[in-house]
């Protein structure tokens, strides 16, 4: 896999992760209802993991980078 290709693919999800149901619900609703969603937190807080989980449940074409 090339560097550029790795940057546009979602990362593999871990099999064990901390459940954040409220965050997942709010993020899912925001991604469906808003034109722009900013997810801001310090390094290591799970931003990429949270968005990766959402990608699996959103309709195709819902996200543009």
Q: Could you list the residue range(s) of the whole structural domain that residue 49 is in?
A: 3-55
What six digits make up the tokens of 24? 């997942």
**Which pLDDT tens digit goes with each residue over 1-50?**
666 766 677 667 666 666 788 988 999 999 889 989 999 999 988 898 88
Pick from 63, 64, 65, 47: which is nearest to 55 by CA?
A: 63
Instruction: Indicate whether 65 belongs to any domain.
Output: no
Instruction: Indicate whether 9 belongs to any domain.
Output: yes
Residue 65, C-beta contacts closer than 8 angstroms, at least 6 positions apart = 8
Instruction: Indicate whether 63 belongs to any domain.
Output: no
CB 56 within 8 A of CB 28: no
The pLDDT value given to residue 26: 94
Instruction: Indicate whether 50 belongs to any domain.
Output: yes
Instruction: Indicate whether 35 belongs to any domain.
Output: yes
Helix, coil or strand: residue 46: coil
Q: For the chain, what is the domain count?
A: 1
The pLDDT value given to residue 46: 86
């Amino acid at each position: 896999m090339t560097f550029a290709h790795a940057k546009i693919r979602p990362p593999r999800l871990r099999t064990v992760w901390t459940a954040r149901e409220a965050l997942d619900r709010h993020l899912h609703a925001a991604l469906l209802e808003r034109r722009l969603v900013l997810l801001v937190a310090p390094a290591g807080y799970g931003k990429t993991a949270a968005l990766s989980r959402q990608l699996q449940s959103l309709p195709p074409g819902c996200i543009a980078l």
